[in-house]
A and B are shown apart, each in its own frame.
Chain A
């Protein structure tokens, strides 16, 4: 079975400061990794994805994430946040296990950008 742990449930940060949202996963097979953002009362929007190749992936809104296989992590970063980045962020792991796709979401990290 696979699992996803988002280590921080809430992250407050001042505007224009850098931020890192942490995500660790466990899986016995190869995985694909995703980050989503959810604004209040809206659905989830794909920020970025890691499928293969370069371990540093860039997404929308200036976010990037780095896949670290040895540490089984996929942390999300942004060098300078804006008020508009205030939202909930979800890490997700996808793999093929047995005869079906396994897709697991983390419990989410609420990012609050303070003026």
Chain B
């Protein structure tokens, strides 16, 4: 069966420090991969999605970047964190087309101080 791993679960970082969040998927090949952010009391904001290795689409301009160095690995990064980067970050995967649901990891709670 397919599983998704996301780490760390929680992270407290000072303003201006770098960030690296990692997500890996097991049990499937060539998944579509997504990074979402939830700010406190708000809905889901799509940050990046990827349909293959090295293929990244950015949905909103921001202080973050994403990379997909391997088929089932998706990394969210920042060179210098801002206070506004605080939030709950969710990785998700899907396979197939428009009718396929997304499957989410357990998320990373990031607090920038």
Residue ranges of A at the interface with B (Cβ–Cβ < 8 Å): 32, 34, 36, 41-46, 49, 51, 90, 92, 94-96, 101, 103, 105-108
Interface of chain A, helix or strand or loop or mixed?
A: strand
5 chain-A/chain-B pairs, Cβ below 8 angstroms: A41-B109, A43-B90, A46-B103, A103-B46, A107-B43
Most-contacted residue by chain B among A32, A34, A44, A90 (CB, 10 A)? A44
Is B107 an interface residue when CB atoms closer than 8 A count as contact? yes
> Which of the candidate stretches B65-73, B74-82, B94-102 sits at the interface with the other chain?
B94-102
| Cβ–Cβ contact B102 & A103, under 8 A | yes
* Known A44-B90, A103-B102, A108-B43; further 10 A-B contacts with Cβ < 8 A: A41-B109, A42-B107, A43-B104, A44-B104, A46-B101, A49-B99, A92-B102, A96-B97, A96-B98, A106-B43
Min CB distance, A56 to chain B, in Å? 18
| Cβ–Cβ contact B98 & A95, under 8 A | yes
We find that the number of chain B residues with CB closer than 8 angstroms to chain A is 19
How far does the alpha carbon of A94 sit from the alpha carbon of B97 in the complex, in Å?
10
Residues of A within 8 A of B99 (CB): 32, 49, 51, 94
Q: Which of A43, A49, A107 contacts B105 (CB 8 A)?
A: A43
- Known contacts A96-B98, A101-B98; A107/B106 CB under 8 A: no
Min CB distance, B105 to chain A, in Å? 5
Is B44 an interface residue when CB atoms closer than 8 A count as contact? yes
| Cβ–Cβ contact B107 & A105, under 8 A | no
Residues of A within 8 A of B106 (CB): 42-43
How far does the alpha carbon of A91 sit from the alpha carbon of B91 in the complex, in Å?
18
Q: Which of A32, A36, A107 contacts B42 (CB 8 A)?
A: A107
| Cβ–Cβ contact A45 & B104, under 8 A | yes
Nearest A residue to B46 via CB reads A103
How far does the alpha carbon of A51 sit from the alpha carbon of B100 in the complex, in Å?
9
Closest 9 CB pairs of A and B: A43-B104, A107-B43, A44-B104, A96-B98, A105-B44, A32-B99, A43-B106, A51-B99, A46-B101
How far does the alpha carbon of A105 sit from the alpha carbon of B45 in the complex, in Å?
9
Min CB distance, A99 to chain B, in Å? 12
Residues of B within 8 A of A106 (CB): 43
